[in-house]
Amino acid sequence: MEVICLFFFAMRRIYLDQNATTPLAPEALAAMLPFLSGGYEGRFGNPSSLHADGRDAQAAVDDARVRLAALLGGHPRDLIFTGGGTEADNLAVIGLARARVRAGSQRHVITSQIEHHAVLHAADFLERHEGFRVTRLPVDGRGIIDPEALRGALTGGTALVSLQSANNETGTIQPIGELAALCRENGVPFHSDTVQSFGKQPVRVDTPGAPDAISLAAHKFYGPKGTGALWVRPGLKPDAILFGGAQEGERRPGTESPALLAGMATAAELAVNALPTETPRLAALRDRLWMGIAAHFPAAARNGAWETPALQLANTLNVSFPGVDGETLLIHCDLEGLSVSGGSACMAGSQQPSHVLLAMGRTLETARASLRFSLGKGTDEADIDAALERLAKIFARLKP
């Protein structure tokens, strides 16, 4: 047993679960450290305090807001800092829907069957506790929302539409421009969860097809965990869902963290600036991984819109392995030093099959026999080749 344990811990691990979280960029850590130093020598002030220490902290918060807004193409005052992507999604769905109802809209929200649970559960809450009618749009076998389905569901009184830009499990990219245009034609605010998109593809709010609100999470693009943002178009103001202070323009109370925000802004700049080179590099590595998997396990099938590569995130590969138990496969991958996922990290331990794959028409057995591989800036060809060697051993043991 001791020899086995030593082997396990000595093995070089290969991290292919970047959609779950990413390592903190060294540059982001460096930006955070001045605010994390111990004692009175550090920049530890409360941004809401009026004295010099507080003003110094507020300046750091303002700087992060300006830098992040510039990357998005929006105005800094329209950016609301939150405790992460889940809170940003909740504030958008619940806060905007409530505000719209107060302004005269119907209690009707439209979302899709494949959203992150931060959106789905927020919509469920409105349905169960506040009398909203929720329309959950279906997707096709590729995981794509049909704009005509949205057209048929929209009414002039719909309070809000919330549809993700790219799926966290399959990497499928939605036709956001078309969806946003339909919402605009009907005068309905459109929120998009861009947590998995930002840092992997261009996300701007100053383009004709941009949503009216978008959510971000820093730890998805090499920033710190525990911080995120919601951008909301001028003229829209979500009702607060937290109470206790006037921070963030009375839209999100609570003392801001200059350290986390400095780290998020720095990581965001790095991710956006790297897009032109990182996107094709990751796409090539992803395809190399798929070709190796297909060679070792010919029955394997990709999940997503693979006949149109432009509709797939460059870093994400979701694969079904017919006849193999997914949980067993995950365990074997972990023992072989491969960090991969069976779906969304937020549902870990739930023992539930992927709601995304089921909505795409996959069988229960197929959904349970699927893995997500997600690559990042630390992934290279050596990682992919080593991962394939380990997967070949696993397949040899588990093939039916």
Chain segment 285-320, per-residue pLDDT in tens: 999 999 999 999 999 999 999 999 999 999 999 999
- Residue 6 pLDDT: 46
Rounded distance between C-alpha atoms, residue 61 and residue 45, angstroms: 11
- Residue 400 pLDDT: 61
The pTM (predicted TM-score) of the whole model is 0.93
Token pair recorded at residue 371: 């893995």
Which of 268, 286, 318 terminates a domain? The answer is 268
Which of 268, 297, 326 terminates a domain? The answer is 268
- CATH number of the domain residue 156 falls in: 3.40.640.10
Say whether both 161 and 257 belong to one domain. Answer: yes
Q: How sure is the predictor about 10, in pLDDT bands with cuts at 50, 70 and 90?
A: low
Residue 399 has pLDDT above 80, yes or no: no
pLDDT greater at residue 23 or residue 246:
23
Query: Across residues 16-20, what is the average pLDDT?
Result: 98
Say whether both 101 and 132 belong to one domain. Answer: yes
Say whether both 287 and 248 belong to one domain. Answer: no
Q: What is the SS3 assignment for 231? A: strand
Residue 4 has pLDDT above 60, yes or no: no
- Residue 156 pLDDT: 83
Residue 347 has pLDDT above 80, yes or no: no
pLDDT greater at residue 58 or residue 156:
58
Residue 345 has pLDDT above 60, yes or no: no
Is residue 346 part of the annotated active site? The answer reads yes
Say whether both 8 and 44 belong to one domain. Answer: no
How does the average pLDDT of the chain come out, rounded?
A: 94
Which of 240, 268, 296 terminates a domain? The answer is 268
Say whether both 162 and 47 belong to one domain. Answer: yes
- Residue 8 pLDDT: 47
Q: What is the SS3 assignment for 373? A: strand
Give me the domain span that covers residue 9. 2-25+275-398
Token pair recorded at residue 41: 């020598």
The sheet with strand 301-302 has its strands ordered as 301-302, 316-320, 370-374
Say whether both 39 and 176 belong to one domain. Answer: yes
- Residue 24 pLDDT: 98
Q: pLDDT (tens digit, 9 = 90+) per residue, 229-246? A: 999 999 999 999 999 998
Say whether both 200 and 302 belong to one domain. Answer: no
Residue 265 has pLDDT above 50, yes or no: yes
- Residue 42 pLDDT: 78
Q: At 382, which amino acid appears?
A: A
What residues does 302 pair with on adjacent strands? 319
Residue 177 has pLDDT above 50, yes or no: yes
Say whether both 231 and 293 belong to one domain. Answer: no
Say whether both 20 and 32 belong to one domain. Answer: no
Measured in whole angstroms, the distance separating CA 227 from the mean position of its chain's CA atoms is: 13
**Among residues 5, 183, 333, 346, which one is catalytic?**
346
Contact 279, 200 (CB under 8 A): yes
Query: Across residues 54-71, what is the average pLDDT?
Result: 96
Query: Across residues 322-339, what is the average pLDDT?
Result: 93
Q: Are strands 370-374 and 316-320 parallel, antiparallel or unpaired?
A: antiparallel
What lies within 8 Å, CB to CB, of 142 at 6+ separation is 172, 304, 305, 306, 307, 308, 311, 360
Contact 239, 102 (CB under 8 A): yes
The total number of structural domains that make up the chain: 2
Say whether both 57 and 187 belong to one domain. Answer: yes
- Residue 351 pLDDT: 56
Query: Across residues 329-352, what is the average pLDDT?
Result: 78
Q: Is 337 left (phi over 0), alpha (psi -120 to 50) or beta?
A: left
Tell me the C-alpha to C-alpha distance, in Å, between residue 318 and each of 22, 55, 125, 321, 359: 18, 47, 30, 10, 15
Say whether both 7 and 110 belong to one domain. Answer: no
Say whether both 238 and 318 belong to one domain. Answer: no
- Residue 57 pLDDT: 94
- CATH number of the domain residue 10 falls in: 3.90.1150.10
Rounded percentage of the chain residues whose pLDDT exceeds 90? 88
Contact 292, 277 (CB under 8 A): no
- Residue 3 pLDDT: 46
Residue 344 has pLDDT above 60, yes or no: no
